[in-house]
Amino acid sequence: MKRILALLIVALGVNVAMAQAPGADCFNPLPFCTGQTYNYPAGVNNGTAQPGPNYGCLFSQPNPVWYYFQVDNPGNIDIYMVGSNTNNINNPTNDIDFICYGPFTSLAGVCPSQLTAANTVDCSYSASATETVNIVNAPAGAFYLLLITNFSNSPANIIFSQTGGNGSTDCGVFSAPGNNGPLCVGQTLQLTVDTPYSAGPYAFYWTGPNGFTSTLQNPTIPNAQLSHAGTYTIVLTDLSNFESDTSTTTVVINPIPAAPSFTPTPVCAGQQFCNSPNPPLIQNATYTWTATNGVNSTAVPYCSIGNVAMWNGVTLSLTVTVNGCTSPPFSAPITVNPVPSLSITGNNSACEGTYVNLTATPGNLSNYTWTNASSTTNTATVLAGGTYTVSATQNGCTGTSAPFTVNIIPNPLDITGNVPFCDNDSIVITATAGKDQYVWNGVPGGNTLTVNGSAANPLLLTVLSSNGCERTDTINLDILETPVVDFSPENFCDGGEVPFVDNSTISSANTLNGFFWDFGTGDTDNAQNPTYTFPANGTYPVTHIVTASNGCVSRITKNVKVYNKPKANFEAMPLCFGLVFFKDSTLLGDGGLDSTIFTFIDVNQSPVINEEQFEITFEGVQSVEVNYFVLDSNGCYHDTTKVVPITATPEFSKLPNVITPSNAVGEGSFIDNDYFDLGPNGIIFDKCYDYSITFYNRWGQKVYTITNSEQKFEGKNSLGQKLENGVYYYVIMADGKKRYGGTVTVL
């Protein structure tokens, strides 16, 4: 070993009792070497660093710890440090700082006089929880001092180790420490370290998780918990020569696994039962089953056969061992129930077709199940001629009886004639002859019966044989459905082909696949929905026959009436001023006129409904296309369309607004302006309406009136006197209505 600490202690005059813990000041630094991770429990009551050294960038030095090391292989050395309150190098939580001094040829006399700014290698006072010391070109054999401080002033671990550089430190030779692990929670942890072969004496200083420290060589921790697991560090000092070194041992403490559970299910005698741990299996764990009947096993799952004497009421326990730690046991009783024994009692023979009452014993079980019989109790009514067993359950276990046979006393019966038939037909059913009695659906009779489509289905036949045995047979009749035939129309109007529609129906189990029509005229058709043109108006017996997919046929005959339909017609009389008079002139058929509709095509007029004559006025058109629709009491209809000319309203805007009366006679009122009239060549004629044109002066006095096409207004009053030059007003009246008004200037 390098006698490093011894030189330092001698130089500083420290006694061997080491009253102050190593690392507390620069006189008692802790050794450090590469290849190891150091975990220093940094408390909050360590005070501040000692006075004397130059602390460089460290403006404060709370809770200090000192380390030293000697360079073995020269080169760069990088030391990474983390402050963590979770003892996890990957979870930095506490602000730490550092200063590193060196290189020194020896540590003798270094503290504190040579801890100066000139000998400072690296320093950091950052707010980070991680720091890195960088030493460049460290010479072989040189010594360095490293101070780490806990600025956060809260309990933490300072974890540090060399993480980079091609240099290394001298670790010396040291007897390896050990422990009695792995342990289970609750056991006593024993830490051990062997001293070297030299005589000693030795000083021991242990540190570890949870702030553990001890100066014993082989300390113990009773009732160890999971928090005691981790790395323990021993600083061993030979007090005869003060040679010291550091080493570690890792303690593994495994938890006590939780007790596994299992849920035993009651089983029946002779059945296999299996129990599996819950929760599911833990990998690499050992499960141990023990039972009060002496059974032990590590099988998973544990299975056995349910023997009542061996297992019923026995307690089965289970433990699990993980990493050498065994859980508390979980225990539960095993239940094995016996299988019940059943038997059947009752008559073992009966007449053919009759029933026998059977009873199962015991009668206090549950879930009775009979073969070939529908019963859920301990009694069942069964038909003679069968073999029966019964099963029942007690405590979840099911037992089955031995077979019980009910023999038949024969009463044979044969049925013939039961063939499928349509519901509008009938069949004859014949039973075996020679019976003493026949009863059909409760009615006595012979061995034959005529059955039609309305018969009750199924048919019950009871016979009594000569040996006194009675039997009842059920005869299921196969009555085929007949289609329900119908068609339309039954009445229609003449004028072309009649579209007949088959309205026949049948259940979804069958289809209609054959059709025949007789139109009562000698003509026939096989289409489902034919069209036909009758030769004349009148009544015809139309027969419709339908065949279903099951072969059944049905028919219907209806008297079909062919009506003579009306022939629509109307008269239109154009009058003046766009007025037209309309009048019905329809030629009726077999029915009376029920309704009429006039429709004016491309004209903004409302239709007139159910009026046989009316007047209507059209404006702005010279003709109008009119459709006339009539409907009679038989539902027959007809329509016609005509174009009706319109006598338009005169163009009063072409009347003159100035006249220049003279002695000359002009060629017309619209060529020269000698006069104002509505003569034969004018815009209105006497044949329209009685009309008048009245002229007024500017004071509203009537001066002249025209009452026929022969009269003219020549600028004179009704007395033949010339009127003064000026503007005169006129009003045209026709058919008692004002038709137009304007002015004319007389010059």
- Report the alpha-carbon distance of residue 320 to residue 258 in Å, rounded: 8
Q: Which CA distances in Å does 460 have to 60, 384, 466, 595?
A: 116, 19, 20, 64
Question: What single string gives the DSSP state of each residue in 443-504?
Answer: EEE-SEEEEETTS-SSEEEEEE-TTS-EEEEEE---EEPPPB--EE-SEEESSS-EE-EE--
Pairing of strands 579-584, 613-617: antiparallel
Side-chain-side CA neighbours of residue 520 (13 Å): 18
Enumerate the β-bridge partners of residue 18.
none
* Topology, domain 177-253: Immunoglobulin-like (2.60.40)
> Is residue 110 pLDDT above 50, yes or no?
yes
414: buried, middle or exposed (CB in 10 Å: 19+, 13-18, 0-12)? exposed
* Topology, domain 415-480: Immunoglobulin-like (2.60.40)
Phi, psi of 12 (to 5 degrees): -95, -5
pLDDT digits (tens, 9 = 90+) for 11-52: 332 333 333 456 788 887 777 766 666 666 666 667 888 999
What's residue 689's pLDDT? 66
What's residue 672's pLDDT? 58
> Is residue 156 pLDDT above 60, yes or no?
yes
Ranges of beta strands (E only) in 255-311 are 267-268, 272-275, 286-291, 296-297, 302-305
Region 616-632: what's the mean pLDDT? Answer: 86
Let me know: does 130 contact 79? Beta carbons within 8 Å.
no
Selection from 597, 611, 614, 490 nearest residue 544 by Cα: 490
Class (C level, CATH) for 570-645:
mainly beta
CA 368, chain centre distance (Å): 43
- Report the alpha-carbon distance of residue 588 to residue 633 in Å, rounded: 10
- Report the alpha-carbon distance of residue 510 to residue 40 in Å, rounded: 97
- Token pair in block for residue 673: 């302006």
Let me know: does 435 contact 353? Beta carbons within 8 Å.
no
What's residue 319's pLDDT? 93
Confidence of residue 685 (pLDDT cuts 50, 70, 90): low
Region 580-599: what's the mean pLDDT? Answer: 87
E strand or H helix at 206: strand 202-208
- Report the alpha-carbon distance of residue 26 to residue 725 in Å, rounded: 144
Pairing of strands 593-601, 608-609: antiparallel
- Percentage of the chain beyond pLDDT 90 is 44
Long-range CB pairs of 301-306, under 8 A, 24+ apart, other chains included: 301/274, 301/275, 301/276, 301/277, 302/274, 302/275, 303/272, 303/273, 303/274, 303/275, 304/272, 304/273, 305/270, 305/271, 305/272, 305/273, 306/267, 306/268, 306/269, 306/270, 306/271, 306/272, 306/273, 306/336
> Is residue 298 pLDDT above 80, yes or no?
yes
Confidence of residue 695 (pLDDT cuts 50, 70, 90): very high
- Domain parsing of the chain, residue ranges: 4-169, 177-253, 267-337, 343-409, 415-480, 487-563, 570-645, 652-746
- Going by CATH, does the domain composed of 4-169 fall within 2.60.120.380? yes
Q: What is the mean pLDDT of the chain?
A: 85
Let me know: does 334 contact 297? Beta carbons within 8 Å.
no
pTM of the entire predicted model = 0.37
* Topology, domain 343-409: Immunoglobulin-like (2.60.40)
Q: Which CA distances in Å does 140 have to 104, 122, 144, 494?
A: 11, 19, 11, 133
Domains 4-169 and 343-409 share a fold: no
pLDDT digits (tens, 9 = 90+) for 390-424: 999 998 899 999 999 999 888 888 999 999 999 88
- Going by CATH, does the domain composed of 487-563 fall within 3.30.505.10? no
pLDDT digits (tens, 9 = 90+) for 237-277: 777 666 677 788 999 999 999 989 999 988 888 888 899 89
What's residue 665's pLDDT? 42
Phi, psi of 449 (to 5 degrees): -150, 130
- Report the alpha-carbon distance of residue 466 to residue 382 in Å, rounded: 24
Q: What's the length of the chain?
A: 747
What's residue 472's pLDDT? 86
Count of CB atoms situated within 10 Å of the CB of 433: 10
- Report the alpha-carbon distance of residue 183 to residue 253 in Å, rounded: 5
Q: Tell me if residue 4 falls in helix, strand or coil.
A: helix
Region 709-716: what's the mean pLDDT? Answer: 84
CATH number for 652-746: choose from 3.40.50, 2.60.40, 2.40.160, 1.10.760.
Answer: 2.60.40
pLDDT digits (tens, 9 = 90+) for 500-541: 999 999 987 889 999 999 999 999 999 999 999 998 888 999
Confidence of residue 666 (pLDDT cuts 50, 70, 90): very low
- Report the alpha-carbon distance of residue 564 to residue 21 in Å, rounded: 135
CATH of domain 267-337: 2.60.40.10
Phi, psi of 426 (to 5 degrees): -150, 160
